[in-house]
Amino acid sequence: MIVPSIDGSDPTPPLDRSTPSVLVVADADRDRLESVLANTDSLSVRSSDGLPPEGVEIPDVDCLVCRVPFADHEPTDIVDRVRTRHEQLPIVLVSSTDEAADIREAVASIQWIDVVPEAEAGQLQHRLTRLLERRRLSALSKRSLAGVELAGDAIGIVDPDGHIELVNRSFAVLFGADRETLVGRPWEALFDAETVDHLETKAIPTVADGWRWSGTCTAHRDDGDTVTARVALDGLEDGSLVFVVDES
């Protein structure tokens, strides 16, 4: 579903907030990107040929789609500019196929970013929807984590790409690290090689089949010590993994 472009003088009507709102920003291929996203009633799409001035909020937007390069700005500059006012706003960068790998590497450490090569523009709607769903589940997970803090369970959530996305205080204490330094690490860095192999070959396939797995594992703390821990592993509907760790 397309609502009027924000380029013209006509005011944009109020959005149905049950429908995710997407802003497409591009100085090339804007109409094509809009049309790719318009073939569904599950998104409300509008467009612009420019980003708002620096420091100005983007109103009523759940996801930004930006065709890069854009106005001679580097992709990381665009992300930094948007994130100064919208720290958690999902962003999809559409790039040339040749540049996609380099851009993906440049933004790898930034949360809620996806890079779609122009050759895969037909998958834009799917990739955008998946990113929004992961963001929604993360918000739910954060609320859930807030609820288990008092229970003392050490809980960490790993995203579908295998990187730690969220941990609670008990999890950080068990591994002897700050939460901020744990987020973004591959989960494999938390365990010894034998444990990683067992989790990859036994535990994760069990979870993928819809079951919960538990077992004893050897964990690595940041100070170099190893810890024997009981690990319960479960999965979320987007492919994320939930680790509940209890020191033996």
**pLDDT (tens digit per residue) in 138-173:** 777 666 666 666 657 899 989 888 999 888 889 999
Mean pLDDT is lowest, of 67-71, 112-116, 168-172, for 67-71
Contact predicate 18/41, CB 8 Å = no
Q: How many domains does the chain have?
A: 2
Rounded to two decimals, what is the model's pTM?
0.55
Interatomic CA distance for residues 167 and 180, integer angstroms: 9
Domain co-membership, 44 together with 70: yes
Lowest mean pLDDT across 86-95, 100-109, 145-154, 216-225 = 145-154
The domain of 107 spans: 21-135
Beta pairing class for 21-25 and 44-48:
parallel
> Which CATH number does the domain housing residue 69 bear?
3.40.50.2300
Same domain, 153 and 239: yes
- Specify if 236 maps to a domain: yes
Residue 144 domain-assigned (yes or no) = no
Task: State whether the Cα torsion 220-172-108-106 is positive or negative.
Answer: negative
Between the CA of residue 41 and those of 31, 98, 147, 176, what are the distances in Å? Answer: 18, 32, 35, 47
- Compute the distance between CA of residue 108 and CA of residue 184 in angstroms, rounded to an integer: 9
Q: Is residue 230 part of a domain?
A: yes
- Confidence tier at 1 by pLDDT (50, 70, 90): very low
Tally of CB atoms within 10 A around 10 = 9
